[in-house]
Structure 1
């Protein structure tokens, strides 16, 4: 199950992510177990993360983003080029999302 957000919440999170640097890079081997563990650690501590994929294929990047969101119960915020933005609220959220 993936997290669902309103368009206004996604817009807010895109703005928050604008100045972030990618914290995890998905290499040529794809979404390995080590990469997924690093994604899990990063999203737990940051809530909102940028991920860089080295895949040249857009369909592959789309499936990587879908798998990340499904596995971590997170929300896909944006996919521009090789950058994927993913959000999952922490137990004690740092970001306060707009209500609607």
Structure 2
């Protein structure tokens, strides 16, 4: 579980990132989950945008992505989701202590 201080740090790190995935009309599917898991292993911090034509609730999409990928939900602002998962091989981010 991330502390408030850690979430603030991750939000500041994610600010300059561009979304690399989009959730559209099809919603969250196995292919998307697999791709996000691979991206999290390489990058640790990922931004995902939810398109206007997505039929699912944005909170539901964010929770599903976080749960299925094993990541922490850092932020859901507007239609943008920020996820964090510590990498086993490509550790880049060092979180501040609680």
Please give the TM-score of this superposition, normalised by the length of structure 1.
0.89
**Distance across 2 between alignment mates of 1:37 and 1:80:** 23
**Alignment of 1:12 onto 2:13:** no
Unpaired segments of 5 or more residues in structure 1? none
List aligned pairs for 1:63-82, cutoff 5 A. 63-82=60-79
**Distance across 2 between alignment mates of 1:51 and 1:85:** 6
Counting matched residue pairs gives 96
Structure 1 position 56, deviation (Å): 6.1
**Alignment of 1:42 onto 2:42:** no
Note the aligned Cα RMSD (angstroms).
Answer: 1.5
Q: Which residue of the partner structure matches residue 94 of structure 1?
A: 92
Unpaired segments of 5 or more residues in structure 2? none
